[in-house]
């Protein structure tokens, strides 16, 4: 169904210029996020791809820049979120230069978008890190740690771990059953998911949980109607992230993408969502969190563009990994993307639709 709005109704060129500028140099207000440079770059790289303007980046230089963040330690693998700092000893180096699970995930996705074959990714080292990142409860820390006391550990990083395993086929490096148990335990009474057990349902956490269970092949154990009820009722005009909150531009992706993965994107009211995103569009280029916010930012700009893809204003998006459907399909054809679900994965269908065990380019199951 058409949204009634087309790309001509948005500042297409300004949004591309916004992402290009931020890919080259970040404004001062991002200095507190310096340890997550790769994540910030991902918003620009994927954003340009979704806008059909990836040719505005120097592909080879960007690929080399991403690989410069890769750890060269055989048991300490993955990608740093920032340029490695030099220390006098190996112990200090390992303690202070920590590969980060989220930056590893976005590094892999960016490389796929840029048509890299991933042959330089140190997969065995990444597998070693996955083992160290996982805790006994099945959750994952964002960096190497001894317990949840010295690193964040929640559903976001379970999603990152699942994505890394799905891209590189590294499921042997993690405890799949423990992962699934943690995700199930994070489901709230209302059918959606929080950061962990006994936490409030949240649109971003629900996306992470559903994507993870899709890659694990465990969606069939959920109370799907209750989950769908929660997601559908988050749309006011745009989408709320939580009950009783104002609509926020980024949840057009977090909740809209969840509906796509469940094969239920027909429940997305595209015209209303696209009109809301139009009110969040900034004259500077990019998108704001709320219509009355003063300035745009990278995160909300990127996820608003993702929302426009889900609304049919822009070409299709693969919500599962957060890249264009075209990039997903090209990476599969080339063999760079393994797109391998976990061992024991079970086919799933939305009630009333046929079962198809293979992932589609949209990242869910054919439904």
pLDDT digits (tens, 9 = 90+) for 316-330: 999 999 999 999 999
Question: CA nearest 190: which of 159, 153, 230?
Answer: 230
pLDDT digits (tens, 9 = 90+) for 45-86: 999 999 999 999 999 999 999 999 999 999 889 999 999 888
Per-residue pLDDT at 150: 66
Per-residue pLDDT at 118: 98
Dist CA 210 CA 188 (whole Å): 13
Per-residue pLDDT at 93: 81
Per-residue pLDDT at 145: 67
Terminal-to-terminal C-alpha distance of the chain: 17
pTM (2 decimals)? Answer: 0.94
Per-residue pLDDT at 90: 80
Per-residue pLDDT at 134: 95
Per-residue pLDDT at 218: 96
- Give per-residue burial for 311-323: e unless 16+ CB within 10 Å, then b: bbbbebbbbbbbb
Per-residue pLDDT at 365: 35
- Kindly give, in sequence order, each residue whose CB lies less than 8 Å from that of residue 98, ignoring residues fewer than 6 positions away: 80, 143, 144
CATH of domain 7-334: 1.50.10.20
Dist CA 183 CA 139 (whole Å): 8
Question: CA nearest 99: which of 121, 63, 128, 129?
Answer: 129
pLDDT along the chain (367 residues), means of 10: 73 96 95 95 98 97 98 93 87 85 98 98 98 95 72 93 98 98 97 97 98 96 94 97 97 98 95 97 97 96 98 97 98 97 88 54 41
What is the domain partition of the chain in residue ranges?
7-334
Q: Are 175 and 135 in contact (CB under 8 A)?
A: no
């Amino acid at each position: 169904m058409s949204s009634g709005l087309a790309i001509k109704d948005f500042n297409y060129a300004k949004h591309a210029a916004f992402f290009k500028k931020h890919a080259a140099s970040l404004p001062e207000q991002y200095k507190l996020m310096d340890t997550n440079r790769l994540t910030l770059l991902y918003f620009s790289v994927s954003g340009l791809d979704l806008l059909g303007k990836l040719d505005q980046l120097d592909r080879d230089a960007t690929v080399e820049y991403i690989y410069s963040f890769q750890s060269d330690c055989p048991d300490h693998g993955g990608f740093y979120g920032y340029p490695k700092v030099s220390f006098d000893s190996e112990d200090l180096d390992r303690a202070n230069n920590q590969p980060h699970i989220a930056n590893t995930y976005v590094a892999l996705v960016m490389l796929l978008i840029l048509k890299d074959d991933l042959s330089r990714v140190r997969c065995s080292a990444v597998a070693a890190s996955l083992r160290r990142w996982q805790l006994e409860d099945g959750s994952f820390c964002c960096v190497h740690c001894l317990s949840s006391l010295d690193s964040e550990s929640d559903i976001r990083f379970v999603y990152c771990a699942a994505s890394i395993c799905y891209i590189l086929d590294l499921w042997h490096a993690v405890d799949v059953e423990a992962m699934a148990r943690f995700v199930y335990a994070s489901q709230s009474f209302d059918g959606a998911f929080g950061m962990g057990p006994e936490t409030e349902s949240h649109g971003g956490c629900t996306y992470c949980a559903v994507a993870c269970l899709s890659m694990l092949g465990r969606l069939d154990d959920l109370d799907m109607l209750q989950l769908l009820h929660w997601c559908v009722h988050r749309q006011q005009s745009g989408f709320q992230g939580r009950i009783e909150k104002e609509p926020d531009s980024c949840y057009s992706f977090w909740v809209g993408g969840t509906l796509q993965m469940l094969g239920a994107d027909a429940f997305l009211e595209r015209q209303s969502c696209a009109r809301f995103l139009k009110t969040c569009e900034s004259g500077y280029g990019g998108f704001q969190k709320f219509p009355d916010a003063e300035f745009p930012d990278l995160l909300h700009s990127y996820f608003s563009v993702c929302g426009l893809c889900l609304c049919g204003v822009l070409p299709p998006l693969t919500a599962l990994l957060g890249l264009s459907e075209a990039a997903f399909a090209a990476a599969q054809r080339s063999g760079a993307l393994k797109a391998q679900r976990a061992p024991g994965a079970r086919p799933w269908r939305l009630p009333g639709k046929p079962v198809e065990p293979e992932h589609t380019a949209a990242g869910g199951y054919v439904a």
